């Protein structure tokens, strides 16, 4: 029997989980309504195993080089064997009537003041009435066929 053929029902053992850095063992992710909403979008699509491994990568500080651009977020994730994977989250930029609605929402005193205080009030979502992460696409350079893979999940947890 060729032990390298996955379709025989034999799967290679998973790589060991990375150890969390000091102070991050058991770290909770998504402590705000926005953070919980962000993570739940990913967890709706991820398997429990991939989400769990993503949390392990996030706790081990394996996510780095995060860059924000118009309609995209990119990052590098160090894999279990030291290899580097590139992750990209992308969505269409807000424009047209949606942009006008967004700017009106941000312009209200209650929401504008909270944003200046580095908070995203839940009233924002009700006022804007459209998800900022609709149509979000995730890509990773790893060979995993699932999306989101553990590297994409790790980026979601870090963000």
Residue range 117-140: average pLDDT? 76
Distance from first CA to last CA of the chain, Å, rounded? 44
Q: Please, where are the H alpha helices in 5-145?
A: 33-43, 48-59, 97-106, 109-116, 122-128
Which range, of 1-5, 27-31, 66-70, averages the lowest pLDDT?
1-5
Which two structure tokens, joined as six digits, stand for 116?
A: 């200046």
Using pLDDT thresholds of 50, 70 and 90, give the confidence band for residue 65: very high
How many residues belong to the chain? Answer: 159
DSSP 18: P
| pTM, entire model | 0.77
Q: What is the CA radius of gyration of the chain?
A: 18
Q: How far apart are CA 59 and CA 151, in angstroms?
A: 12
């Amino acid at each position: 029997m060729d032990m390298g053929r996955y379709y025989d029902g034999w799967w290679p053992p998973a790589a060991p989980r990375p150890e969390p850095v000091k102070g991050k063992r058991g770290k909770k992710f998504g402590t705000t309504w926005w953070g919980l909403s962000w993570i739940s979008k990913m967890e709706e699509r991820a398997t429990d195993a991939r989400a769990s491994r993503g949390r392990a990568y996030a706790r081990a500080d394996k996510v780095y080089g995060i860059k924000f651009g118009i309609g995209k977020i990119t990052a590098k994730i160090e894999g279990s064997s030291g290899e580097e994977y590139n992750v990209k989250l992308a969505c269409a930029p807000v424009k047209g009537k949606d942009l006008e609605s967004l700017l009106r929402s941000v312009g209200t005193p209650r929401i504008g003041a909270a944003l200046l205080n580095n908070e995203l009030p839940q009233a924002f979502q009700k006022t804007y009435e459209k998800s900022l992460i609709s149509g979000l696409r995730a890509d990773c350079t790893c060979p995993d066929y699932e999306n989101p893979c553990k590297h994409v999940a790790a980026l979601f947890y870090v963000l």
